Amino acid sequence: MRKRATTLVALLALGAGIGASRSAGLQGFAEIERGRYLAKAADCGSCHTVPGSNQPFAGGRSIETPFGNLISPNITPDRDTGIGTWTDGEFDAAVRQGRQRGGARLYPAMPFPYYSHMSREDVKAIRAYLSTVKPVHKAVVSDTLPFPFNLRASMIVWDKLYFKPGEFHPNASKSAEWNRGAYLVQGPGHCGACHTPKTLLGGDKTSDALRGDTLQGWVAPDITSGQGPLGDWSVDDLAGYLKTGHNKYAAAGGLMAEVVQLSTSKMTDEDVKSIAVYLKDIRGPAPAGPGSVDQNVLTAGSAIFQDLCAACHRQDGQGIPNLFPRLSDAATVAATDPTTVLRVILQGTPTVATNREPTGPGMPAFGWQLNDEQVAAVATYVRNHFAHAPAVNADEVRRMRATLARRE
């Protein structure tokens, strides 16, 4: 009898051990899947993967900044060239505190000022997911900035001026949906890293949060609501754009196409809607008016538009929903800075293709066909007639041609 009792106790203990192991395994799987989702929401792959390399998170991508280019590091679990030997604490310090392993300060090309709003648990989940990706042995030298910007000690001053760490805390007066959107925009989504104007030192002008900026040869437009360019967009319009890259007003191209492709299109419908709910609650002032415009320029621009543009965008600029942008409601057309408009006219651009919107129509290049005065005329016509934005002159077109030539 004693032997049978001992055997029963042993079997019960074994069963409990198996159950605990299974529970721990399920918890670990859940954490990895949550980390996979958060890594997409944080758009980690955009910077840490060279497009077309088939080496996810292996680094080596050049990141353009106003102070020079940086090279993204390898964050695969390779033990020699990646983060395979990092502790969870060291990873958290890099993501949320802007500190390298060993304590050196990171440049804000790594958007740690935004990631600092994430919880330690969320960052740990991302680390758990990254530990499961294929290790890639790839040494990367990230420090490529010219003197004096290569002196990381200068980040001590930058951090004091612009880095305000702290986890996100919900606003009790707002809905759970609003707070989820606020967390995603302010934290992992780091929308302000592109859409908030910067100071001469590269810090956010927080008083103008999300009111647009220019970077890497593109305009990241004002994404506040109220009287701004997204004022007529509904929550569903904005959510649809984030999820599919297209809506009845606009199509994502340039840098935003990559954000949609790698990040927002991979998020749940509930999360992209929460982002839209939050952004629609951020009020911005009305944009500046067009000022005086030479009527002869508008006449010339109108003729070029009818000849080259109206077939897709229609004579009234209303475009075709989910294919060709409605020019009167395209945020980049209404932006004070004409950079994106000029770049698209000169160079053309594809728009993003996603699972829900697999057709990604492209804008053809007209830089080979139009001279600087003609490009300026049609850009001025489009911006003035459809969006009441300032005129463009031939010198701006000439500078944009030179900029694009340097990027080739």
What is the DSSP secondary-structure string of 315-335?
TTS--BTTTB--GGG-HHHHS
Q: DSSP E strands: which ranges in 241-352?
A: 283-284, 349-350
Which pLDDT does position 322 carry in this prediction? 80
22-26, 122-126, 251-255, 268-272: segment of lowest average pLDDT = 22-26
Do 231 and 329 lie in one domain? The reply is yes
Which pLDDT does position 262 carry in this prediction? 94
Which pLDDT does position 289 carry in this prediction? 67
CATH of the domain at 300: 1.10.760.10
Greater confidence (20 vs 116) lies with 116
Report d(CA 405, CA 56) in Å as an integer: 29
Task: State the average pLDDT over residues 57-69.
Answer: 89
Nearest to 219 by CA among 341, 340, 399: 340
Residue 199, burial from CB neighbour count under 10 angstroms (0-12, 13-18, 19+): exposed
Q: Is residue 34 part of a domain?
A: no
**What are the pLDDT digits (tens) for 340-357?**
999 999 999 988 888 888
Do 137 and 217 lie in one domain? The reply is no
In this structure, are strands 225-226 and 283-284 parallel, antiparallel, or unpaired? parallel
Do 138 and 182 lie in one domain? The reply is no
The helix/strand/coil state of 71 is: strand
Task: State the average pLDDT over residues 267-292.
Answer: 88
% of the chain at pLDDT higher than 70:
91
Task: State the average pLDDT over residues 3-21.
Answer: 49
Report d(CA 208, CA 204) in Å as an integer: 8
Cβ atoms of 400 and 346 within 8 Å: the answer is yes
**Residue 263 identity (one-letter amino acid):** S
Mean model confidence pLDDT for the chain = 88
Cβ atoms of 204 and 233 within 8 Å: the answer is no
Q: Is residue 17 part of a domain?
A: no
Pull the structure tokens for residue 356: 């829900």
Domain count across the chain? 2
Nearest to 218 by CA among 400, 87, 395, 392: 400
Q: Within 13 Å of residue 254, how many CA atoms lie on the same side as its CB?
A: 20
Do 123 and 235 lie in one domain? The reply is no
Cβ atoms of 100 and 112 within 8 Å: the answer is no
Which pLDDT does position 10 carry in this prediction? 47
Which pLDDT does position 45 carry in this prediction? 93
Q: Is residue 54 part of a domain?
A: yes
Do 183 and 314 lie in one domain? The reply is yes
Do 316 and 261 lie in one domain? The reply is yes
Which pLDDT does position 208 carry in this prediction? 92
Name the residue range of residue 80's domain. Answer: 44-142+150-162
Do 80 and 132 lie in one domain? The reply is yes
10-24, 82-96, 106-120: segment of lowest average pLDDT = 10-24
Nearest to 372 by CA among 349, 402, 340, 337: 402
Q: Within 13 Å of residue 317, how many CA atoms lie on the same side as its CB?
A: 16
**What are the pLDDT digits (tens) for 168-183?**
999 999 999 999 999 9
Q: DSSP E strands: which ranges in 165-223?
A: 213-215, 218-220
Do 221 and 364 lie in one domain? The reply is yes
CA of residue 55 relative to chain centroid, distance? 20
**What are the pLDDT digits (tens) for 188-205?**
999 999 999 999 989 999
**Is the model's pLDDT at 158 over the cut of 80?**
yes
Among 119, 134, 162, give the residue marking a domain's end.
162
Among 96, 128, 162, give the residue marking a domain's end.
162
Among 162, 196, 218, give the residue marking a domain's end.
162
**Is the model's pLDDT at 286 over the cut of 80?**
no
Which pLDDT does position 18 carry in this prediction? 54
**What are the pLDDT digits (tens) for 290-331?**
677 889 999 999 999 999 999 999 988 888 888 888 888 888
**Residue 94 identity (one-letter amino acid):** A
Report d(CA 31, CA 134) in Å as an integer: 18
Do 155 and 241 lie in one domain? The reply is no
Do 131 and 184 lie in one domain? The reply is no
Which pLDDT does position 9 carry in this prediction? 46
Report d(CA 337, CA 213) in Å as an integer: 9
Do 272 and 352 lie in one domain? The reply is yes
Which pLDDT does position 83 carry in this prediction? 96
Which pLDDT does position 12 carry in this prediction? 46
Q: pLDDT category, 34, cuts 50, 70, 90? A: very high
Altogether, the residues listed in the chain come to a count of: 408
Q: pLDDT category, 81, cuts 50, 70, 90? A: very high
Neighbours of 10 (CB within 10 A): 10
* Phi, psi (rounded to 5 degrees) for 249: -105, -40
Nearest to 404 by CA among 353, 365, 361: 365
Q: Is residue 379 part of a domain?
A: yes
Task: State the average pLDDT over residues 215-224.
Answer: 90
Which pLDDT does position 26 carry in this prediction? 53
